[in-house]
Amino acid sequence: MTELELKYGCNPNQKPSKIFMKEGELPITVLNGKPGYINLLDALNSWQLVKELKEATGLPSAASFKHVSPAGAAVGLPLSDTDRKIYFVEQEGELSPIACAYIRSRGADRLCSYGDWAALSDICDADTANYLKLEVSDGIIAPGYTDEALAILRTKKKGNYNVVQIDPNYVPAQIECKDVFGVTFQQGRNNYKISRELLSNIVTANKDLPEQAAIDMMVALITLKYTQSNSVCFVKDGQAIGVGAGQQSRIHCTRLAGNKADNWYLRQHPKVLSLQFVDGIRRPDRDNAIDIYTSEEYMDVLAEGEWQKVFKVKPEVLTAEEKRSWIETQSGVTCGSDAFFPFGDNVKRAYKSGVEYIVEPGGSIRDDNVIQTADSYGMVMAFTGMRLFHH
């Protein structure tokens, strides 16, 4: 098949719409559903991310995409008991690595992952499909599906869930083009390989880079490679926990990513873990309630007549002081940036969210100030010399 007709483009008024190959066959096969224009943008970008992440780390990898940027990405490390609780894992027993990867990628920001596009580096199995079956998602791309997984996914969205299989051996042309306002843009593909060797230029006084932090740096960089710029990514234990995408100011990227990382960590606060939800509450409603409860708008779910809709027992307020104290216990976080930090304020903000490791291209006229700021916190910072803008 050389082309695939789509319902419409980014918006319903943008017709006709299709994807096609100028040469050769499409590298994808639609096994179920009818994906749209944005679905396939998410599918092809997210597939590149998980493919490269698997190649760089050797671990099964997954991503949760929304509007052409990752809400989360992760490698397939085992889930802790806390992970199972905050990600609402109902399945018993040990889960497959690829299922753990997707659960962790979606868990980075469950609000942003509502209606996501899922991407898997490995064959989709029943563990992954059973978890996806319970979540609000628009579709999935993977190099293959077990018969059981495909049967499960075909029951989603009244049989209309988008299931796309991609040829894992497909290699795109070295030159890529796109049209904007009737003008064709052309550039070489960003084939720069992200690997452990890229992290060798450690510019801070502290040069102790543990293996897990190195993996987290690669997770951050590869996630940023497919995130709309400007972008900053916070990672912990092989999982993106905060992605700040598409901001015009670097410090706003860092604040956004840091705030998301703080929210991820607040979900593990004892008061949040002990919330008692009403029976039968929908998963998105539960996510929204937690997000509001941990925010400054907590009274929206704790007011009389409102809390009864969500909770069996009215929760105590999670105070600003309790939140600050809890966030201050966060540690071992890695921060990556798709371009250099122009000021030390980015490092200061990152530190407030438990960042101990930073990876960025370097090259600012204020690199000395940025390094000095990192040194003042005892951080490890690596300069890659490689910018990762993506538009």
DSSP string for 307-355: GGGTBSSPPPP--HHHHHHHHTT---EEEEESS--SSTHHHHHHHTTTE
Which residues lie closer than 8 Å to 372 by C-beta, 6 or more apart?
A: 344
At 1 the pLDDT is 81
- Span 236-243, average pLDDT: 97
Report the percentage of the chain scoring pLDDT > 70. 100
Angstrom distance (rounded) from CA 44 to CA 60: 18
Q: 136: which 2 tokens? A: 């609000």
- Span 274-295, average pLDDT: 96
Please write the tens of the pLDDT for every residue from 107-122.
999 999 999 999 999 9
Q: Has 252 been annotated as catalytic? A: no
Catalytic residue among 32, 230, 263, 346: 230
At 188 the pLDDT is 96
- Span 10-19, average pLDDT: 95
Task: Tally the residues of the chain.
Answer: 391
- Span 214-226, average pLDDT: 98
Task: Indicate the helix (H) or strand (E) that contains 32.
Answer: strand 28-32
133 burial via Cβ count (<10 Å: 0-12, 13-18, 19+): middle
SS3 38: helix
162 to each of 39, 109, 143, 359, how far by Cα in Å?
9, 22, 14, 36
Nearest to 61 by CA among 53, 323, 202, 69: 53
- Span 149-168, average pLDDT: 97
At 168 the pLDDT is 97
Contact 385, 221 (CB under 8 A): no
Which residues lie closer than 8 Å to 290 by C-beta, 6 or more apart?
A: 267, 272, 275
Which residues lie closer than 8 Å to 382 by C-beta, 6 or more apart?
A: 199, 200, 201, 202, 203, 209, 217, 357, 358, 359, 360
At 240 the pLDDT is 98
What is the residue-averaged pLDDT of the chain? 96
Q: Has 390 been annotated as catalytic? A: no
- Span 123-128, average pLDDT: 98
Nearest to 241 by CA among 370, 355, 381: 355
- Span 303-316, average pLDDT: 96
SS3 82: helix
SS3 112: coil
At 113 the pLDDT is 96
Cα 374–377–382 angle (5° rounding)?
35
- Span 257-280, average pLDDT: 97
At 302 the pLDDT is 97
At 341 the pLDDT is 96
Q: Which residues of 334-366 are buried (b: 16+ CB within 10 A; e: fewer)?
A: bbbbbbbbbebbbbebbbbbbbbbbbbbbebee
- Span 36-54, average pLDDT: 97
SS3 content of the chain, % helix, strand, coil (to 5): 35, 20, 40
Contact 313, 328 (CB under 8 A): no
Please write the tens of the pLDDT for every residue from 342-376.
999 999 999 999 999 999 999 999 999 999 999 99
Does 221 score more than 90 pLDDT? yes
Please write the tens of the pLDDT for every residue from 191-206.
999 999 999 999 999 9
- Other CB atoms within a 10 A radius of the CB of residue 203 amount to 18
- Per the listing, tokens 């997984």 go with 149
Report the percentage of the chain scoring pLDDT > 90. 98
Q: Has 391 been annotated as catalytic? A: yes
- Span 271-285, average pLDDT: 96
Question: How far is CA 356 from its chain centroid?
Answer: 20
Q: 254: which 2 tokens? A: 């860092």
- Other CB atoms within a 10 A radius of the CB of residue 391 amount to 8
Angstrom distance (rounded) from CA 379 to CA 334: 10
Does 98 score more than 90 pLDDT? yes
Catalytic residue among 54, 66, 156, 236: 66
Q: Has 314 been annotated as catalytic? A: no
Contact 60, 54 (CB under 8 A): yes
Does 279 score more than 90 pLDDT? yes
Pairing of strands 3-5, 61-66: unpaired
- Per the listing, tokens 């919330």 go with 275
